[in-house]
């Protein structure tokens, strides 16, 4: 990262928020709140709202704003970030900063072909944007004799002119995109220690959902190392939520035993999953979540056929969102690696001795068979017992 | 949850308070670098030397033959892998149930072009002396055998094996992993023709991250790291003085307590087995009891998976180990246990005692095992 761009401030840009018409102000406010939470651990750092941009001022311990930049890269809704110089709203000052920036770039990479791009959020500023670009470009040519290339530049010198300051920057880094967390509603994630469910949660966070998580713990068949691993995953999600994740740990062993004892062991996984949906739904409704989220991918394992997903989904009244449904495993792994959950997910403390799962589970569960099996147990009592045993853990980033 | 009964001393032990105090003093008072020329350095070097003397006395060695390390794994890496790398031959021998620090080293040697012979244990849980010697050739560079097998606690015929190996291949380096043996068995490096021996502090009420390799004068090993010449260049790097002075005292205390402690642990071990056998129908004690180390009892539970048994015991306040690695796909017992004839659906727990184990704990552990066995009935 020795080439990390540095600056006095970070310009924060967003994208899709513009599409949301009347909600725009609300979305912008949520984005600014999220950015403030992202910067909260950095002493002295602050967010300033500009017209159509956010401006992040780093703290005194963060020269070059590199730490602020890293923190803001986790704010959903942000499309790109640029470390920038802050200069007076005067053409001479802008040109001088642009020349200095281009000089540094020229020293690093020869004679880059360049262009200047200007944006005025304060349209009262004169001259116009194209004219500013032309004048600043001329200053760079005059000082450094760099070749101009407006179509395929190797260096783009950005100029933004706001109401109080102007900004000059040489590069942008991508943000995570998506929407600020919390603008689309709240969901309850069924979180396991595997690779898929943390990614499913992250994808919903990215679409602006606030997240709670439910984990089903089968002690003593699963040890507490697995629980710790799930907590670690919830903490990773908290880092993207920019707020604590409430994790509900549900003791599930008794439920599994009762369901297993209904007879056909090949139905067991479908019966477990249906029970999980019911329990998660109760937890979801209590926290005002509007949907359940799972990491299921179509046909990835036996319980994830269309028939079984249908039988599982029939147990829930809330919608079940499956953002990984169309993923190949490698797609999900690629995201898991990017968001930092993969290394935790592959720790060897998974459902080590899944005693109650048969070698060949049914792939096309018939709802009639499922309902017949469930008629042998008191479903409501099982759900109540699960809810009564819930341990709530607040997971911080 | 706070464990009330700790019978996992084969994994690690509680540090003796006297040992912890000595380590703390080496961090806060005598904190010098033993290589420093001033008085603080001299004081640290003096304490380090005292620790070396203590370890040497316990195993009948000369202090100059001891190399301090970070623990059992590093001592095995130097004593087995390092010896193989320093020798001319390209063949090594070890038992098939050595610790992973030896088995994985053997795998690495194999990747480097060495031939590797693994000697499987007999149903007794010990290797056969003649079969081990048979695997050794005139050009064998190194062989390794642990003194107490860590999973099942069976004492291996190390002295006999060493004599048989040397008779056949006098230049073969014989390495002994004694990590589970110090403080439980009398160990005298001069009484047998071995070349190196590994020990670790945290198995005998010392801290983690400290160990030693005894290396017979004249035996050669290739260093695994390079630097300032400490530990005669075998293991350079500023010595971990706090852990090492703790190692020295821990070994001395363990050796002082050993005669009495070993007798008591062996009694407790046998009583634990008797209590479990009376409560758990079909339970199996692994390995030949007449060859058992005093502190380890390995028990198979019919038709029960190992790790859930462990957690069911944990829920009753009793901490033990699963005697077999348990993987999502492979629920079978470990290769060691299968070699002993343990059936695939038998889960194994390892109960490992320490000199602090009480009779009450033995009773509680047996009750918890019986209850866990019932809880996990399918």
ipTM: 0.78
Question: Is B292 a residue whose pLDDT tops 90?
Answer: yes
B226 and B265 both lie in a single domain:
no
**Facing B308 at nearest CB: one of A348, A350, A353:** A353
Which is nearest to A324 in space by CA: A229, A203, A151?
Answer: A203
Query: Would you call B327 an interface residue with chain A, using a CB distance cutoff of 8 Å?
Result: yes
**What's the rounded Cα separation, in Å, for the pair A48 and A9?**
10
Position A179 in a domain? no
A150 and A216 both lie in a single domain:
no
Name chain A contacts of B369, Cβ cutoff 8 Å: none
B149 and B279 both lie in a single domain:
no
Q: What is the total count of domains within chain B?
A: 2
A254 and A126 both lie in a single domain:
no
B25 and B149 both lie in a single domain:
yes
Which residue among A124, A140, A174 closes a domain? A174
**What's the rounded Cα separation, in Å, for the pair B290 and B374?**
30
> Per-residue pLDDT tens for B259-275?
999 999 999 999 999 99
A224 and A352 both lie in a single domain:
yes
Position B136 confidence tier, pLDDT thresholds 50, 70, 90: very high
Which residue among B199, B222, B254 closes a domain? B254
CATH of the domain at A326: 3.40.50.620
Name chain B contacts of A222, Cβ cutoff 8 Å: 311
Task: Say whether B326 is catalytic.
Answer: yes
B98 and B241 both lie in a single domain:
yes
What is the average pLDDT across B51-57? Answer: 98
pLDDT of residue A352: 38
Tell me the CA distances in angstroms from A86 to A95, A142, A167, one per residue in order: 12, 22, 5
Position A4 in a domain? no
Question: Is B27 a residue whose pLDDT tops 70?
Answer: yes
Domain, as residue range, for B271: 5-12+258-375
Cβ contact, residue pair B331, A350, below 8 Å = no
Position A264 in a domain? yes
> Per-residue pLDDT tens for B78-99?
999 999 999 999 999 999 999 9
The number of angstroms, rounded, from the C-alpha of B67 to the middle of its chain's C-alpha atoms is 17
Least confident interval from A154-158, A358-362, B217-221, B338-342 = A358-362
What is the average pLDDT across B15-35? Answer: 97
Question: Is B224 a residue whose pLDDT tops 60?
Answer: yes
pLDDT of residue B336: 84
Cβ contact, residue pair A220, B376, below 8 Å = yes
Cβ contact, residue pair A353, B306, below 8 Å = yes
A61 and A120 both lie in a single domain:
yes
What percent of chain B clears pLDDT 90, i.e. is strictly above it?
91
Question: Is B337 a residue whose pLDDT tops 70?
Answer: yes
B307 and B324 both lie in a single domain:
yes
Position A38 in a domain? yes
Query: Between β-strands A320-321 and A391-395, what pairing exists: parallel, antiparallel or unpaired?
Result: unpaired
In chain A (397 residues long), the average pLDDT of successive 10-residue segments reads 61 75 82 95 92 89 90 95 93 95 90 94 90 96 95 94 91 92 95 94 97 95 90 96 97 93 86 96 98 93 87 96 95 94 79 60 88 95 98 96
B167 and B219 both lie in a single domain:
yes
**Facing A353 at nearest CB: one of B307, B314, B315:** B307
Query: Would you call B331 an interface residue with chain A, using a CB distance cutoff of 8 Å?
Result: yes
Cβ contact, residue pair B310, A220, below 8 Å = yes
- Among residues B94, B143, B319, B326, the one annotated as catalytic is B326
Position B338 confidence tier, pLDDT thresholds 50, 70, 90: confident
Position A106 in a domain? yes
B72 and B151 both lie in a single domain:
yes
- Tell me whether the omega of the peptide bond preceding residue A220 falls within 30 degrees of 0, making it cis: yes
B160 and B244 both lie in a single domain:
yes
pLDDT of residue B297: 98
pLDDT of residue A374: 95
CATH of the domain at B346: 3.90.1150.10
Which residue among A145, A174, A203 closes a domain? A174
Query: Would you call B14 an interface residue with chain A, using a CB distance cutoff of 8 Å?
Result: no
Q: What angle do CA B324, B125, A222 make, to 5 degrees?
A: 10
Cβ contact, residue pair A223, B327, below 8 Å = no
B205 and B78 both lie in a single domain:
yes
pTM: 0.85
CATH of the domain at A73: 3.30.2130.30
pLDDT of residue B327: 42
Q: What is the total count of domains within chain A?
A: 2
Domain, as residue range, for A50: 9-174
Which residue among B224, B254, B284 closes a domain? B254
Position A117 in a domain? yes
Which residue among A116, A144, A174 closes a domain? A174
Tell me the CA distances in angstroms from B126 to A306, B146, B156, B236, one per residue in order: 54, 10, 5, 36
**What's the rounded Cα separation, in Å, for the pair B61 and B198?**
13
Which is nearest to B183 in space by CA: B200, B159, B208?
Answer: B200
B30 and B138 both lie in a single domain:
yes
A20 and A52 both lie in a single domain:
yes
Least confident interval from B17-26, B119-128, B333-342 = B333-342
């Amino acid at each position: 990262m020795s080439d990390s761009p540095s600056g006095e401030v970070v310009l924060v840009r967003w994208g899709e928020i513009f599409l949301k018409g009347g909600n725009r102000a609300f979305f912008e406010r949520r984005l600014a709140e999220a950015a403030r939470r992202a910067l909260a651990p950095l002493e002295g750092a602050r967010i300033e709202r500009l017209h159509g941009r956010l401006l992040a001022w780093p703290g005194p311990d963060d020269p070059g704003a590199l730490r602020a930049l890293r923190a803001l890269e986790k704010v959903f809704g942000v499309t790109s970030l640029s470390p920038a110089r802050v200069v007076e709203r005067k053409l001479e000052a802008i040109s001088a900063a642009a020349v200095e920036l281009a000089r540094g770039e020229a020293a690093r990479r020869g004679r880059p072909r360049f262009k200047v791009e200007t944006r005025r959020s304060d349209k009262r500023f004169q001259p116009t944007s194209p004219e500013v670009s032309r004048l600043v470009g001329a200053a760079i040519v005059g000082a450094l004799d760099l070749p101009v290339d407006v179509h395929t530049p190797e260096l783009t010198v950005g100029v933004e002119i706001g109401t109080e300051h102007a900004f000059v920057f040489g590069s942008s880094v991508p943000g995570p995109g998506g929407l600020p967390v919390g603008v689309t509603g709240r969901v309850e994630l069924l979180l396991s220690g595997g690779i898929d469910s943390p990614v499913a949660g992250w994808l919903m966070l990215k679409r602006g959902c606030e997240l709670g998580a439910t984990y089903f713990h089968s002690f003593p068949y699963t040890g507490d190392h697995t629980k710790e691993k799930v907590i670690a995953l919830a903490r990773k999600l908290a880092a993207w939520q920019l707020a604590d994740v409430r994790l509900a740990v549900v003791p599930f062993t008794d439920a599994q035993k009762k369901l297993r004892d209904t007879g056909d062991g090949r139905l067991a996984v479908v019966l477990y999953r249906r029970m999980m949906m019911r329990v998660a739904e109760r937890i979801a409704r209590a926290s005002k979540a509007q949907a359940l989220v799972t990491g299921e991918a179509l046909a990835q394992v036996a319980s994830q056929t269309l028939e079984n997903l249908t039988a599982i989904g029939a147990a829930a009244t809330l919608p079940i969102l499956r953002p990984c449904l169309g993923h190949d495993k490698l797609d999900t792994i690629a995201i898991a690696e990017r968001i930092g959950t993969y290394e935790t997910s592959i720790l060897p403390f998974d459902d080590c001795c899944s005693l109650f799962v048969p070698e060949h589970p049914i792939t096309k569960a018939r709802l009639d068979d499922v309902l017949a099996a469930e008629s042998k147990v008191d479903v409501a009592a099982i759900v109540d017992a699960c809810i009564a045993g819930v341990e709530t853990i607040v997971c911080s980033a | 949850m706070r464990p009330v009964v700790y019978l996992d001393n084969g994994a690690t032990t509680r540090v003796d308070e006297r040992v912890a105090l000595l380590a703390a003093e080496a961090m806060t008072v005598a904190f010098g670098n033993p290589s420093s020329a001033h008085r603080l350095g001299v004081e640290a070097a003096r304490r380090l030397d005292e620790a070396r003397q203590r370890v040497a006395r316990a195993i009948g060695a000369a202090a100059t033959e001891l190399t301090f390390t970070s623990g059992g794994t590093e001592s095995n890496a130097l004593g087995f892998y390092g010896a193989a790398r320093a020798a001319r031959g390209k063949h090594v021998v070890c038992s098939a149930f050595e610790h992973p620090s030896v088995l994985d080293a053997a795998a690495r040697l194999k990747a480097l072009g060495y031939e590797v012979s693994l000697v499987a244990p007999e149903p007794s849980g010990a290797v056969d002396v003649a079969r081990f010697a048979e695997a050794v050739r005139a050009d064998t560079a190194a062989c390794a055998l642990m003194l107490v097998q860590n999973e099942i606690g069976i004492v291996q015929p190390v002295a006999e094996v060493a004599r048989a190996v040397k008779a056949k291949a006098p230049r073969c380096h014989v390495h002994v992993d004694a990590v589970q043996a110090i403080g439980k068995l009398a160990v005298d490096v001069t009484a047998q023709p071995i070349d190196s021996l590994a020990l670790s502090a945290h198995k005998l009420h010392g801290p983690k991250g400290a160990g030693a390799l005894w290396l017979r004068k004249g035996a050669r090993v290739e260093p695994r790291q390079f630097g300032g010449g400490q530990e005669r260049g075998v293991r350079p790097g500023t010595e971990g003085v706090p852990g090492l002075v703790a190692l020295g005292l821990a070994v001395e205390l363990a050796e002082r307590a050993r005669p009495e402690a070993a007798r008591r642990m062996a009694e407790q071990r046998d009583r634990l087995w008797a209590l479990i056998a009376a409560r758990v129908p079909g339970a199996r004690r692994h390995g030949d009891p007449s060859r058992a180390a005093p502190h380890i009892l390995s028990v198979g539970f019919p038709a029960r998976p190992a790790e859930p048994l462990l957690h069911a015991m944990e829920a009753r306040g009793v901490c033990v180990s699963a005697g077999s690695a348990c993987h999502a796909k492979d629920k079978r017992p470990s290769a060691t246990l299968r070699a002993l004839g343990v059936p695939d659906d038998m889960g194994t727990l390892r109960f490992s005692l320490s000199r602090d184990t009480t009779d009450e704990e033995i009773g509680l552990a047996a009750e918890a095992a019986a209850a866990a066995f019932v809880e996990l009935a399918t």
